[in-house]
Amino acid sequence: MSKVFIMAAALSSLVSMNSNAFELTSQDIQEGKKIPQAFEFNGFGCSGSNKSPQLQWTDVPKGTKSFAITAYDPDAPSGSGWWHWSAFNIPASVTSLAQGADLTKLGATELKSDYGSVGFGGVCPPRGDNMHRYQFTVWALPVEKLDLSADVSAALAGFTVRSMAIGKAMLVAPYNR
């Protein structure tokens, strides 16, 4: 038996013993299932409650000192997708958010969504458009505070978060009108 095969087998069993994966779930939205209309934006021709969904995450990566959350629609007909939510500096002690949570009460920074308002902006694809995929992501970060101001773009915050994340947990749910 080759040494490479033995090492690969040993690594495989080590990975299977530690199979806990950083995971994002929600009581309000489910992976692959259409988002309820209540989480639709209120404006731009949409008439939802514009509340963020309840979220919870488990099996946080070791070394996490804070979290960032993003909600992004890569299918928006803008040429660059659509940022529905971008928040960072969420304390590492927080592993769930209630529906409609005010992240500023946690000391977090919420940025403007692509609607132009601070905080969560609900789903609202153009009427008759194909199904859009909404990517809710929690990012585990190795720093307590990102050195970003509250007026940076969601794209710049996303770049910064991705460049340093030690883990991410994503939930993707579709929506169309």
In the chain, the domains with their CATH numbers are 21-175 (3.90.280.10)
Structure tokens at 176: 């169309």
How far apart are the C-alpha atoms of 110 and 104, rounded to whole Å? 7
- Give the whole-number percent of the chain exceeding pLDDT 90: 88
Of residues 54 and 13, which shows the higher confidence score?
54
pTM for this structure?
0.88
CA 70 to centroid of chain Cα atoms:
4
Handedness of CA 159, 160, 164, 165 (dihedral sign): negative
Structure tokens at 71: 């909600």
> pLDDT tens digit string along 157-168?
999 999 999 999
Mean pLDDT value across the chain:
90
Is 99's pLDDT higher than 50?
A: yes
Quote the pLDDT of residue 36: 96
Quote the pLDDT of residue 28: 98
Is 44's pLDDT higher than 80?
A: yes
Is 18's pLDDT higher than 50?
A: no
Quote the pLDDT of residue 19: 52
